[in-house]
């Protein structure tokens, strides 16, 4: 990956709806080389996809919590079952496995506190291998959806 590829990635992080023509002009390449580089960045996995970033408030997901999960069992099968179950919960918008304690961090959005409580009681508390759940509410986003530094 060279400086031109990094410029392409930076421009697309800023505006993923750019046409190839607009992108080529911004990175000062002719259309064909820019298109080739873009396809190679997609093929290599440097660009994983394109999507709209939604405003949670505008779509009715006004409640957000971070849930820390400590596992009772951490054998390979239990962890795999836990991760598969978490991946099937639509309101879990991010999930990370961590070193140390706790074992996982889940970012959850929901319409309101009662909806979160139902999700917590009916889904999260019943996940495979869970010993303890600890939640904290998100007050405000200070940094969110920041482009990667290139």
Phi and psi, residue 61, nearest 5°: -105, 75
Tokens standing for residue 24: 């080529």
pLDDT at 83: 98
Q: What's the pTM?
A: 0.86
Outline where 28-147 has alpha helix (H): 31-44, 76-87, 113-122
Tokens standing for residue 93: 């918008």
Residue 74, pLDDT above cutoff 90: no
Residue 145, pLDDT above cutoff 90: no
When the pLDDT of each residue in the chain is averaged and rounded to a whole number, the result is 96
E strand segments, 48-91: 63-71
Tokens standing for residue 123: 């889904």
Residue 113, pLDDT above cutoff 90: yes
Mean pLDDT in residue range 60-79: 96
User: What does the alpha-carbon distance between residue 89 and residue 129 come to, in Å, rounded to a whole number?
Assistant: 16
pLDDT at 66: 98
pLDDT at 14: 93
């Amino acid at each position: 990956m060279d400086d031109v590829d990094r410029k392409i990635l930076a421009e697309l992080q800023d505006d993923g709806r750019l046409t190839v023509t607009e992108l080529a002009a911004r990175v000062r390449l002719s259309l064909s080389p820019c298109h080739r580089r873009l396809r190679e960045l997609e093929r290599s996995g440097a660009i994983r996809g394109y999507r709209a970033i939604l405003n949670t408030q505008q779509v009715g997901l006004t409640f957000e919590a971070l849930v820390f999960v400590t596992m009772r069992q951490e054998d390979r099968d239990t962890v795999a079952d836990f991760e598969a179950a978490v991946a099937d919960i639509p309101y879990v918008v991010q999930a990370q496995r961590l070193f140390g304690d706790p074992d996982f961090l889940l970012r959850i959005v929901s319409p309101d506190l009662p909806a979160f409580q139902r999700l917590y009681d009916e889904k999260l508390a019943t996940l495979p291998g869970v010993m303890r759940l600890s939640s904290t509410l998100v007050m405000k986003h200070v940094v969110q959806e920041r482009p990667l530094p290139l």
